[in-house]
Amino acid sequence: MGETAGSGTTMLNIDLYGPYVWSCYALTITILGWQLYRVIRAQKNLKQKLKVQGILC
């Protein structure tokens, strides 16, 4: 049932993981990175706004 990739070594068999494992990790990193980006961007916008209001230097 389903293809199992690789013959089961534990070292750097990058090519044999197949698309599934890599897409999982890529998806995770992308989504978490997007959230991080969102938070940092909100902070930057806030700083900008505060600068305009003269509260920040």
Partner 1 sequence: MKKILQYLAPYLSLPGFCQWSHRWWPWTAGFCLLLWIAGLVQSLFLSPVDYQQGEAVRMMYVHVPAAIWSLSVYSIMGIASLASLIWRTKLMDVLAQASAPIGLSFTVIALATGSIWGKPMWGTWWVWDARLTSELILLFFYMGYIALQKAAEDHRQASRLSAILAVIGLLDVPIVHYSVRWWNTLHQTSSFENISRPQIAASMLWPLLMMMAAFGLYYVTLLFLSMRTQIVTQHADRLWVKRLVQEQRC
Counting contacts by CB under 8 A, is residue 52 touching partner 1? no
Contact code string over 8-47 relative to partner 1, x by CB under 8 A: xxxxxx--xxx-xx-xxx-xx--xx-xxx-xxx-xx--xx
Phi-psi region of 5 (alpha: psi -120 to 50; beta: other; left: phi over 0): beta
Cβ atoms 26, 34 nearer than 8 A = no
- SS3 for 5? coil
Give the dihedral sign, CA 13/10/28/3: positive
Supply the minimum distance, in Å, between the C-beta of residue 53 and partner 1. Answer: 8
Q: Which residues bind partner 1 (CB under 8 A)?
A: 1-6, 8-13, 16-18, 20-21, 23-25, 27-28, 31-32, 34-36, 38-40, 42-43, 46-47, 50, 53, 55-57
